[in-house]
Amino acid sequence: MRKFVHRLSEDMPAWALRAFMLVFFVFLIAPIAIVVWMSFSAQSYIGFPIQSYSLRWFRRVVEYEPFLNSLIVSIKVAVLSTLFATAIGVPAALALARSRSKAADAIATFLVAPISMPLIVLGFALLFYLSTLGFGLSLLALLIAHSVVAVPYIVRTVIGVYRSQPADVEEAAMILGASRWQTFRYVTLPLVSPGIFAGALFAFLISLDNLPISFFFGSPETSTLPVILLSYTENQFDPSIAAVSTVQMLLALATLFVVDRIFGIRNIGAPT
């Protein structure tokens, strides 16, 4: 008996820790789960208990023009800025990853720096800078701003993945007579492709949810979904926000699923 009590007190922290974990994950998931649940409500107000269920709020997503239009703008901006950032970010990352020079280190730090900036600062600065340059509140301005945020994610993940690969494989290819281009195309590129896709995925998801930059460029043609949602939630409190958010979440999940299926994602969320 005494032994049992002793063991129980020894195990106490483990049990306490387990209970704590449960509370923690409820805390993490509850605000999200409740929104998904709410989005299927048939009521015209937010309230519990939910009396009946329907898909009427999802229909509103399609019918209420600002939601649909801004969703399209969001996807357009996310796709284009990710593609552009990949196009300039990947060559830079590959050139910088294996170089030992101080300059390369400095450049890499510079390219990754925007990750650590408060985005609201960058958005504010870009708004005035781009309107001085004459871009104003255009889709192009929005694309440029989102690309600035996307480049660091791509550069960082590609550098990380490339550095973790041994250089021997590429050396072997070159010693065996592959040209520089062949080595790049058939050895280097396949080696780093998981990094490219993980980085692009990050950039895409972050652009899709970006608010602190997007809201500076808000005009009827350039409002992204988060901007529309913010102004909507500031004034109204009905389940349509729940439905739009659920759609956006499903979009992100689908992207993640597809990219994972095709390429497999290692390192996701791993801080470098």
Q: Scanning residues 144 to 173, which ones bind other proteins (CB under 8 A)?
A: 144-145, 147-148, 151, 155-156, 167-168, 170-171
The span from the CA of 72 to the CA of 2, in Å, is 67
Q: Tell which phi-psi region holds residue 176, choosing left (phi > 0), alpha (psi between -120 and 50) or beta.
A: alpha
CB of 255 to other proteins, least distance (A): 9
Q: Which residue from 64, 69, 174, 193 is in contact with other proteins, where contact means CB under 8 A?
A: 174
**Distance between CA atoms of residues 132 and 79, nearest Å:** 26
CA 13 to chain centre: 36
Q: Does 89 bind other proteins (CB under 8 A)?
A: yes
x/- binding map, residues 41-60, to other proteins, per CB under 8 A?
Answer: ----xxxxx-----------
30 binds other proteins (CB under 8 A): yes
Nearest to 249 by CA among 203, 190, 209, 193: 209
Binds other proteins (CB under 8 A): choice among 21, 55, 72, 189: 21
Print the binding letters for residues 61-80 with other proteins: x by CB under 8 A, - otherwise: --------------------
Whole-number Cα distances in Å, 125 to 29, 67, 132, 147, 216? 35, 27, 11, 15, 10
Residue owning tokens 């992204």: 224
From 8, 95, 140, 258, residue interacting with other proteins (rule: CB under 8 A) = 95
Among 8, 11, 29, 221, binds other proteins (CB under 8 A): 29
